[in-house]
């Protein structure tokens, strides 16, 4: 689900899934995602995980089933 009219598009890559403009896992503090510490703040600038279509669909499904973001994140950690 691309939002090509978004002023930040493409924030990561073309054909990304933009269902999550803001990550439900922020701040994940997991360097494996490509995120990093920027002083005292966490920046997701290098992370594209939430915009990968299969990942976004998995997370959306989990949240719609009422799972907590922390439970969904544990499932994603296995894929990192």
Structure tokens that stand for 55 in this block:
């990942």
Residues contacting residue 33 through CB under 8 Å, at least 6 positions apart: 44, 46, 47, 49, 80
What is residue 2's predicted lDDT score, i.e. its pLDDT? 59
Q: pLDDT tens digits, residue range 4-22?
A: 677 777 677 778 888 888 8
Structure tokens that stand for 11 in this block:
């924030």
Residue ranges making up the domain that contains 15: 1-80
Structure tokens that stand for 17 in this block:
């899934």
Q: pLDDT tens digits, residue range 18-63?
A: 888 888 999 999 999 999 999 999 998 888 888 889 889 989 999 9
pLDDT band at 1 (very low <50, low <70, confident <90, very high): low
When divided into structural domains, the chain yields a total of 1
């Amino acid at each position: 689900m691309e939002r090509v009219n978004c002023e930040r598009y493409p924030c990561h890559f073309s054909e990304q899934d933009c269902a999550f403009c803001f990550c439900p896992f922020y701040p994940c503090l997991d360097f494996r995602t490509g995120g990093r510490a920027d002083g005292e703040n966490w920046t997701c600038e290098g992370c594209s995980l939430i915009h990968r279509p299969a990942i976004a669909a998995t997370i959306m499904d989990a949240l719609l089933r009422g799972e907590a973001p922390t439970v969904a994140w544990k499932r994603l950690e296995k894929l990192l």
